[in-house]
Amino acid sequence: MNTNKRGNMKPYKHSRLGAAFLMSLAIFAGCTKKVAYDYENHEDVHAKSQIDTAAEYLYVPSTANSTRTSDVARPYWQGQEKLVKFQFTEKTLQVLELDRESRFDANATNKKLVMEIPVEHIQYKCAEDKYGDCTQSETKDSDLKWSARADFKPDFDSARIVETNTLPIELENLFTGNCYRESSSKFLGYEMKDG
């Protein structure tokens, strides 16, 4: 150790120690900085828990509006109501009509398909590097079976209505023998909320 006549350390030693201390503090602080987690796009992704598959719902089709000159459509016409339940399958979310007679509920074939909505079952996890460490980014977990995945993404534009209901166009076809067919349809939107 270099000392001057008074036995004190030389000034340049203090500056070297201070610089080394500040450098190690900066390196330590840089290593502890939190890296932002990179999330996947969760747009239009919903938790499966939002769909209560044990609950019963009332399904009522209706005509929203029609042109003034249309003979086969009546605005705000209500179709026949049905008691339904939801059921997830590997590729769809099904809306099933329940049998009116509760004695036959145990037989699954008595549940008639009303509507099918294509879905993608999704589970997110942290993407790992080759050593199994998290890379601070999210990815879809395709290793899980579809039924074990927590979320789903519906494709309402490809929804398929299977049931036939008593809307004005069906009544017109029944009594006049005309052959009207749906020429197009458009999905307007949806909102998911409890209840």
Q: Which residues contact 135 (CB under 8 A, 6 or more apart)?
A: 126, 127, 128, 129
pLDDT of residue 29: 60
Q: What is the pLDDT along the chain (195 residues), one digit of tens a residue?
A: 555 555 555 555 556 666 666 676 666 665 555 667 777 788 889 999 999 999 999 988 877 776 766 666 666 677 788 899 999 999 999 999 998 888 887 888 888 999 999 999 999 988 888 888 888 888 888 889 999 999 999 999 899 888 766 665 555 555 655 555 556 666 777 777 776
Task: List the structure tokens of 174.
Answer: 């029944």
Judged on CB neighbours under 10 Å (0-12, 13-18, 19+), 109 is exposed
pLDDT of residue 106: 80
Contact yes or no for 118/154 (Cβ under 8 A): yes
Contact yes or no for 64/76 (Cβ under 8 A): yes
Task: List the structure tokens of 7.
Answer: 């036995």
pLDDT of residue 33: 59
Task: List the structure tokens of 163.
Answer: 């049931």
